[in-house]
Amino acid sequence: MATPTLTGLLKRVAGEFPSRRAVSVSGKLDLTHARLHEIIERAASRLVASGIKPGDVVALTFPNTVEFVIMFLAVIRARATAAPLNAAYTTEEFEFYLSDSESKLLLTQQEGNSSAQAAASKLKIPHATATLSGADSELNLSPSPTESDDPNLISQLSNDPSDMALFLHTSGTTSRPKGVPLTQLNLASSVNNIKSVYKLTESDSTVIVLPLFHVHGLLAGLLSSLAAGAAVALPSAGRFSASTFWKDMDKYNATWYTAVPTIHQIILDRHFSNPESVYPKLRFIRSCSASLAPAILARLEEAFNTPVLEAYAMTEATHLMCSNPLPEDGPHKAGSVGKPVGQEMAILNENGVIQDANVSGEVCLRGPNVTKGYKHNPEANKVAFQFGWFHTGDLGYFDSDGYLHLVGRIKELINRGGEKISPIEVDAVLLSHPDIAQAVAFGVPDDKYGEEINCAIIPRDGTDIDEEEVLRFCKKNLAAFKVPKKVFLTDSLPKTASGKIQRRIVSEHFLAQISTASVPKFGA
């Protein structure tokens, strides 16, 4: 069997399920798999005509729109590299990402993006817009190619598994963002892993919740669905909205969705405060990108009467690494991120020796979905790629049934007088309190113990929980040395664009506020 490419998988799907719905924009348009393939081929031909060559990097900054879907797939079809960027970046941030990726072209929606365009102009990178006015329309790429956009231009290009198709940056929550190049083989391997573990087929449908410039939404939500012949719906506003989410889920006969814990909590809060009259029957709900507290998982399952499958993923692994199985394939273990999917995984000690079950060490992996190394970052590569494995920086262990349990990021473990404490464990206890909506534990310097535990919480609406109640609850449910020394009550926490709480920034923020009586909002 030939080594797969993502573009090859999508071409096959267009032939097998030509009339099935592929992409919808809520209330605006629907594209079948065959029509989507036609538009992508045409757009790819126009990119080639405009001078884009194999290996060129094309930056895309869009909301979650059909134009993003088309142009992302057109770029990689043209054997170029797609570099999706957050539309909310500042000009300085765009300048860094455009420069670091060595982008040759900036693509935006018709309305443009002033910050991105200013950065591109400074770097002398040309800018173009993409617009699709309707399902039967041709995609308008402006300015138009100066040469003929003959479809034969693209038919002469064959995609190769080694083509660098996607360039993303790590979130940079603990260090400077690192550039992660991912090949057609990486993408194809990952979508096949996701399809396999969740048994995605042409009968499935989902609503995209997460931003498509992030690997979670892009791979798990969009590309895996398309590669299965399934359907995706994009919210009309181009982003997640709690007020329209279930309406879209019902309208498009959704069978599942994937999100980060923060989004799950928003969906839960709306369910309890403003429930829908009817909810679609889902095969499963998926959670990834951050640890989902067992209490939140249980509430989701009870509220929506469906299994919640927690997974473990990283950009460097083209998203999926581990997942809890569907109910028919095995039990879900609370507090576990499941079993490895489609790659080798091991727990290694500092000498590269594989650890036995129930012995903690660094989570390491290797497989066709894993990047070969960071771009322009030899020092990071020395740390991350050792002994033939990719080192995740996460601490964990396998139980006797082969399920992975994460203890925390190695850099985020709290060392209190020699006792190593996982902030994830403290988070889970805090979130089990019925009056706490969001919570994060973190380490702070301490003269006596070296480090001490603090935490920040967002109370649930309508409650009057205070620091005394939080500490009482923690003392009841945690060993004494794990109980936070101080509790901060706030109404906001800093998050990445994908919704992951930034523990390091939380720590820095509240350390600066310890001597003040009030705690301002983040970004205030």
- What is residue 11's three-state secondary structure? helix
What domains lie within the chain, and their CATH numbers? 6-395 (3.40.50.12780), 413-513 (3.30.300.30)
Q: Which residues pair with 58 in a beta bridge?
A: 82, 105
pLDDT score at 224: 98
Measured CA to CA, the distance from residue 524 to residue 520 in angstroms comes to: 6
Contact between 4 and 11 under an 8 Å Cβ cutoff? The reply is no
Dist. CA 211–CA 424, nearest whole Å? 25
**Complete DSSP assignment for 398-449:** E-TTS-EEEEEEGGG-EEETTEEE-HHHHHHHHHTSTTEEEEEEEEEEETTT
Stretches in the chain below the pLDDT threshold 70: 1, 145-152, 171-175, 498, 513-524
4-37 as b/e, with b when 16 or more CB fall inside 10 Å? bbbbbbbbebbeebeebbbbbbbeebebbbbbbb
Residues in the chain: 524
- Alpha carbons within 13 A on the beta-carbon side of 145: 18
